[in-house]
Structure 1
Amino acid sequence: MTESPKTAAIIVAAGRGLRAGSGGPKQYRTLAGRTVISRAMQPFCENNEVFAVQPVLNPDDIAMFNDAMRGMQYQSPVDGGATRQASVHAGLEALADHAPDIVLIHDAARPFVTPALIARAIKAAGHTGAAVPAVPVTDTIKQVSDAGHVEATPDRARLRIAQTPQAFRFDVILEAHRRAAREGRGDFTDDAALAEWAGLTVATFEGDVINMKLTTPEDFVREEARLAAALGDIRMGTGYDVHAFGDGDHLMICGVRVPHSRGFLAHSDGDVGLHALVDAILGALADGDIGSHFPPSDDKWKGAASDKFLKYAIDRVTARGGRIANLEVTLICERPKIGPLRDAMRERIAEITGVALSRIAVKATTSERLGFTGREEGIAATAAATIRLPWTD
């Protein structure tokens, strides 16, 4: 039996993406609730054929990167260079001690790479030593002069659009990059062009039309609409929670520490707002309730901060390819007064969930001095969550 090649991947994410418009580097912008870079890296991080994933970053972006990639396994990031070529070279040198047989070089701005495309890349590199994914050109292409006049019409049957991940024997592409650096050549726009310059024969393999690079603001609008159309399974869930007052000097409500003359009697921090939200999200997923995932009989959750529970519920949605459309909490109490804290609570929920502030509502009401909330014996909360999932049946 032939042993599988030892394969590593480099994810190039040091660029600024200025053509993509405002909103910061494009690789950290979101599409359907997930960052571009997390979408681009996850298929490599979860691929059993890839033993090491090496990110190459702008050092100014490390905090954004760590936040986007929480929970994934990868090599410690290295700093990129002034050009894509320099960034790839930095990634290759970082992997040199690991001595992979094959390296896949992928742009973080291509967030729709599939496991099937990765498998084709590994296979192609094993056969040829240098290969790029390519898709046919369907439009007629014109070669034009500086004045804008047509000079030629190339035969589109021989034209291809090159994509990433581009796949190479590691030792060969590393030496090609080292040679280019020695000779002062830093003008190659992709690794296939550098490999051609170094005298390598570069093969092509079947690309994927969905695996296109995000470059302009219009690209983001188009892909956001495509992903939204794919998430046609719209679910709603509701939640309810209540906690009695006990001794203490503050309450945790919707992730915000609220000074008060009493505290909550609870196994965890007693955050009724976040607990109700967790139940609403799990209900929309038809995935049990907060007690089934975090049983109060388990001492591990004694005194736990409820933001962990809410993040867990959000991760359950993400794991199923879904996104949050709306979150709403209604708090029922006489005191403390929620109005002055409403925006802080919305902002904290947005911070925990990664959901846009415009999709989060926090409301409050009293029970007109009726019942246990009217007697100020505790606080109740209701919640609603709307999520969108891909159709599976």
Structure 2
Amino acid sequence: MNNSIVAIVPASGIGHRASNEQNDIPKQYKKIAGIPILRHTVTKLLLDSRISHVNVIIKQDDCFAEQILDNLNKVNIIKCGGKRRIDTVYNAINLINLNKNDWIIIHDAVRPGFSINCLTKFIDQCLYDKVGGILAIPVIDTIKKGSIRVHHTINRDDLWLIQTPQMFRFGLLKKALSIAIQNNLPDITDEASAIEYIGHNPLIIKGSISNFKITWPEDFALMEKLYGF
């Protein structure tokens, strides 16, 4: 029997770096080509029919998501957003009823630039891996460590810039996030970090530069101009 594939989109963050104004709306609700970023992202995930549902995770007091995602089939809005990303995803996993071998795909709300071909390739490869995998692009720029002055240059061989989606078995991810939270680990910035902590090595699948995360104010115009929204 085929295992289910369910997506989680954490959308409870504020995104201070992407705003030039105080009290601005969260970046996932800002518009590109007249459509909120979150709707772009969720709509693209739904293009792969193997994803049975997309669960969008928001905070209790969120007043935007339900209207923005209105009329989208196979979308659930869950109000269990936490203080950190890891808390948000873990809260959601504890509310979703899946078998341990089903698959969870986690994708950033503000990465709308991935293509359906990229998503299809990613799922295809993860389905045959015992752990699961992540999208990433190789580091091509010179990397230096320092603050005011350069301390040293870091060898960029085998270094990757990590993206989402990330895809793991439901039971394995639930276990990994539970251990990370119980131990209050400070360096768990994505789901793969938690998987690594319990001794597993996720598959690396090459992503695309178009799948960048909207982070800074200028990223909105860049996404719209370069990638056809």
Name 1:210's counterpart in structure 2.
210
Name 2:30's counterpart in structure 1.
29
Name 2:16's counterpart in structure 1.
18
SS of the equivalent of 2:140 reads coil
Name 1:143's counterpart in structure 2.
145
Structure 2 unmatched ranges of 5 or more: none
CA distance in 2, matches of 1:114, 1:225: 16
TM-score w.r.t. length of structure 1: 0.54
Name 1:199's counterpart in structure 2.
199
CA distance in 1, matches of 2:15, 2:54: 22
Number of residues of Structure 1 aligned to a counterpart in Structure 2: 223
Instruction: Using the TM superposition, give the Cα deviation of residue 72 of structure 1 relative to its aligned residue in structure 2, in angstroms.
Output: 0.6
User: Contact (CA 8 Å) 2:137, 2:162: kept in 1 or not?
Assistant: yes
CA distance in 1, matches of 2:72, 2:54: 10
Letter in 1 for 2:200: L
CA distance in 1, matches of 2:208, 2:226: 16
Name 2:125's counterpart in structure 1.
124
Name 1:159's counterpart in structure 2.
159
Name 1:92's counterpart in structure 2.
93
1:1-393 to 2 correspondences below 5 Å? 4-21=2-19, 22=21, 23-61=24-62, 63-73=63-73, 74-95=75-96, 97-99=97-99, 101-126=102-127, 127-144=129-146, 146=147, 148-185=148-185, 187-226=187-226, 230=228
User: Contact (CA 8 Å) 1:130, 1:200: kept in 2 or not?
Assistant: no
Bigger CA radius of gyration: 1
Instruction: Using the TM superposition, give the Cα deviation of residue 203 of structure 1 relative to its aligned residue in structure 2, in angstroms.
Output: 1.8
Instruction: Using the TM superposition, give the Cα deviation of residue 17 of structure 1 relative to its aligned residue in structure 2, in angstroms.
Output: 0.5
TM-score w.r.t. length of structure 2: 0.89
SS of the equivalent of 2:157 reads helix
Identity across matched positions, percent: 28
SS of the equivalent of 1:80 reads coil
CA distance in 2, matches of 1:178, 1:171: 11
Instruction: Using the TM superposition, give the Cα deviation of residue 93 of structure 1 relative to its aligned residue in structure 2, in angstroms.
Output: 1.4
CA distance in 2, matches of 1:218, 1:120: 29
Structure 1 unmatched ranges of 5 or more: 231-320, 322-393
SS of the equivalent of 1:176 reads helix
Higher helix residue share? 1
Structure 1 residue runs of 4 or more that deviate by more than 3 Å after TM superposition: none
CA distance in 2, matches of 1:187, 1:60: 28
C-alpha distance 181-157 of structure 1, shift in aligned 2 (>3 A): closer
Instruction: Using the TM superposition, give the Cα deviation of residue 224 of structure 1 relative to its aligned residue in structure 2, in angstroms.
Output: 2.9
CA distance in 2, matches of 1:153, 1:5: 45
CA distance in 2, matches of 1:41, 1:51: 12
User: Contact (CA 8 Å) 1:163, 1:211: kept in 2 or not?
Assistant: yes
C-alpha distance 56-139 of structure 1, shift in aligned 2 (>3 A): same
**Larger RCO of the pair (alpha carbons < 8 Å, separation 6+):** 2
**More moved, 122-131 vs 193-202:** 122-131
CA distance in 2, matches of 1:152, 1:137: 17
User: Contact (CA 8 Å) 1:31, 1:220: kept in 2 or not?
Assistant: yes
SS of the equivalent of 2:71 reads coil
Q: How big is each residue's C-alpha offset from its partner over 1:92-138, in whole Å with a ceiling of 9 and x where there is no partner?
A: 1122x132611111110111222222223323332141311011222
Instruction: Using the TM superposition, give the Cα deviation of residue 186 of structure 1 relative to its aligned residue in structure 2, in angstroms.
Output: 5.3
Instruction: Using the TM superposition, give the Cα deviation of residue 187 of structure 1 relative to its aligned residue in structure 2, in angstroms.
Output: 4.3
Letter in 2 for 1:133: L
